[in-house]
Chains A and B, each alone.
Chain A
């Protein structure tokens, strides 16, 4: 039974040139449905239901049979689909071509996206809800771009990125509430703290192999959360920190009636007060922060340090042989990634006005990592698209709130199986030995080309 399921592609290849193999498909679907029945029986068929302090057993045979039937029909459809065309290969090819095309118009698409982003609050459909969601979306884009430096460029798997986000948010919240410092002083400090944490964590563990790094960062993310919950004197524990000051427009608050002796934003411009002003200001703030992250990444990739990250990702041994210091190079990527996480965190704190350890769970790290990896590692536009898929689409599916995370997890698996290198995985090499369109003029290669040309000419005759 195991071997039959194990090689569906082989059996499909064998029967493709003929007619549709109905008995085979039926058998395959029956086996799949059988496995599904075994899996679903205790969890869908039965339920340990809480009844006061006791547990009672409920049965849900209808649900169980429907689930098995759906699996059977699904598998049947899959066999038909496979028979109709070698769909898998085709869609992968198509997407690859699409990715390559996308790559070519990268700059223009990015520019169009940026223009759209800057004009978004002026569009007629942009009400409070839309701008709010767009702000959330941009926080994730910024986090994705920040993590992309660590995972996409330097190839270090960081499962605890949310820790730096938390450090940034708490730094801002504590500095702003305790010392009354303004957002613009706290923001760089929050980034600095987050980067420091990155160095402290990274220094001992970056010498290790990738998988260990993953688990240590995961542990670090948990530690930060546990400390935030239990260090009551400073972090206020699970109750969180409230009444965090809102950012001001260079000292002009977004209040209807500002404090004595200060001016509010609407008074400065001489317009009527509108609560949308603050929301739009926050939107532009995160947009600019995100674009700074993006500009930094694009620029740094052309600098020696960025080249070093990418080289290290591809082949660490070669880098070491060339005299690079892998630990320092990785550490810089880790610290810079952490810094952008810290910036995003302090923006999050000022936007929410309230933070608690609840906001910094592992699932956030998983979402950010999923954005980076599903987008196609190292691709800046891919991050935007993946953030759209993972943040905006679930927002539309609010009615299915219960099933949201289930679908999220399954989507992660399916996208990985379908496109292991992410949605936009096509990427031109950063540096080429020969630029495109290069024709060798001398040397061995030139002789080869000449020989080929001579051969072609002879054939043409």
Chain B
């Protein structure tokens, strides 16, 4: 009996980490944009939804062309999703946020909400409102443990794929931010946009790039969610976006490792809450945590306290 409890716990841990990876990747987009221009990119959840749709469409295209090698198909889906989603991320910034830079505080946020509604309905109209199913591309997995009562702990190849991909992306992303000149410009703008502009950093381009990077990670998250759950619709961006934002706040907004950590924690909380309490109230639990974090530790787990200057 005790064993099967441990097994159940382990299974939820695996599920939670998978879900958390997806949230974490979306959360990075929020945290980066917040860090650099101090606004909540409300449309980021929709960018992730677009990434998910792109992976479905690419898969269908590959099917018509007649490619059935799974690794190649995954690679193509990944790259195509990244490229097109990045284009969307760039355009959203260009249309809805750049003209409002330096405008009053609420304007970009309202514009972002408008963009989010527009993108959601754009996808609904062009792709139809019905749920899009996709058959599993990666099947099978390891059975880590079989309990006496037949309960098994499974780690599917897909989950493994998601973990490996997340880790690889994190490594690549950390390299870009800490080691390359692009990353240095990005961090410079985050610290002080005006000063960075004065010493020759192209601020507009850096901000665009931030949106593109965020969109690329969201595209990967979209691919992952399509593979993992097999159904998507035009509405998935709203809730996922909100949870990812919660993750970014939990980890400390502006902090990149914080966003990933927050994402993993939110994923774990959601998995365990669904497993041990009521699945209906899992979203309530997530927001409850957001409120608690904001009350007791407004800077998040890894964030730095903000100094208010007059």
Q: Which residues of A contact B (CB under 8 A)?
A: 2-3, 5-6, 35, 38-39, 41-44, 46-50, 53-57, 151, 157, 159, 204-205, 208-212, 214-216, 218-220, 222-223, 226-227, 229-230, 317, 362-363, 366, 369-370, 373-374, 377, 402-403, 405-406, 408-413, 416-417, 420-421
Contact = CB atoms under 8 A, between A and B. Distances in A.
18 contacts: A48-B56, A50-B131, A50-B132, A205-B294, A208-B298, A209-B298, A210-B105, A211-B40, A216-B290, A219-B242, A227-B281, A369-B110, A405-B117, A406-B117, A412-B117, A413-B95, A416-B108, A420-B100
Interface of B: 34, 38-40, 53-54, 56-58, 60-61, 63-64, 84, 87-88, 90-91, 94-96, 98-100, 103-111, 113-123, 125-128, 130-134, 204-205, 208, 238-239, 242, 245-246, 249, 278, 280-281, 283-284, 286-288, 290-291, 294-295, 298, 308, 310
A354 B115 CA distance: 32
Contact of B133 (A53, A57, A223, A374): A53
A208 B40 contact: no
A402 B125 contact: yes
Given A43-B127, A219-B287, A227-B284, A409 B100 contact: no
Nearest to B135: A54
Nearest to B102: A420
Contact of B249 (A215, A405, A410): A215
Contacts of A227: 281, 284
A38 B88 CA distance: 9
Contact of B57 (A46, A413, A420): A46
A226 B295 contact: no
A210 B106 CA distance: 9
Contacts of A205: 291, 294-295
Contacts, number: 192
Contacts of A223: 283-284, 287-288
Contacts of A214: 40, 109
A296 to B, nearest CB: 23
A57 B122 contact: no
B57 A57 contact: yes
B308 A47 contact: no
B114 A412 contact: yes
A411 B96 CA distance: 11
List 8 tightest A-B contacts by C-beta distance, closest first: A412-B114, A409-B118, A409-B117, A219-B287, A420-B107, A406-B121, A416-B111, A57-B60
Contacts of B298: 208-209, 212
B110 A370 contact: yes
Given A3-B205, A218-B242, A226-B280, A48 B114 contact: no
A417 B287 contact: no
B132 A362 contact: no
A362 B241 CA distance: 13
Contact of A412 (B110, B280, B286): B110
Nearest to A370: B110
Nearest to A361: B238
B200 to A, nearest CB: 15
A377 B96 contact: no
Contacts of A406: 117-118, 121-122, 125
Given A42-B84, A55-B134, A416-B111, A35 B60 contact: no
Contacts of A38: 84, 87
Contact of B104 (A42, A218, A408, A421): A421
A157 B109 contact: yes
Given A39-B91, A405-B121, A230 B57 contact: no
Given A46-B57, A48-B53, A214-B40, A412 B111 contact: yes
A366 B110 CA distance: 9
B118 A47 contact: no
Given A204-B295, A219-B291, A420 B103 contact: yes
A360 B131 CA distance: 23
B243 to A, nearest CB: 10
B35 to A, nearest CB: 13
Please indicate which of the listed interface residues B95, B122, B132, B204 has the most CB atoms of chain A within 10 Å of its own CB: B122
B40 A215 contact: yes
Given A35-B87, A216-B290, A417-B99, A410 B118 contact: yes
Contacts of A151: 106
Contact of B126 (A44, A216, A220, A408): A44
A48 B127 CA distance: 6
Contact of A226 (B118, B130, B245, B281): B281
Contacts of B280: 226, 229-230
Nearest to A405: B121
A210 B286 CA distance: 20
Contacts of B54: 42
Contact of A216 (B38, B286, B291): B291
A214 to B, nearest CB: 7
Contacts of B128: 47-50
A413 B96 contact: yes
Given A403-B121, A406-B121, A421-B104, 12 more contacts: A47-B128, A55-B134, A211-B40, A216-B287, A219-B291, A223-B288, A317-B310, A366-B113, A406-B125, A410-B114, A416-B96, A417-B100
Contact of A55 (B39, B111, B132): B132
Contacts of A210: 105
Contacts of B90: 2
A6 to B, nearest CB: 6
Contacts of A48: 53, 56-57, 60, 127-128, 132
A58 B173 CA distance: 36
Given A55-B134, A412-B110, A222 B118 contact: no
B140 to A, nearest CB: 22
A6 B125 contact: no
Given A55-B134, A219-B242, A212 B249 contact: yes
A264 B99 CA distance: 59
A405 B235 CA distance: 14
A219 B108 CA distance: 20
Contacts of A55: 56, 60, 132-134
A411 B115 CA distance: 9
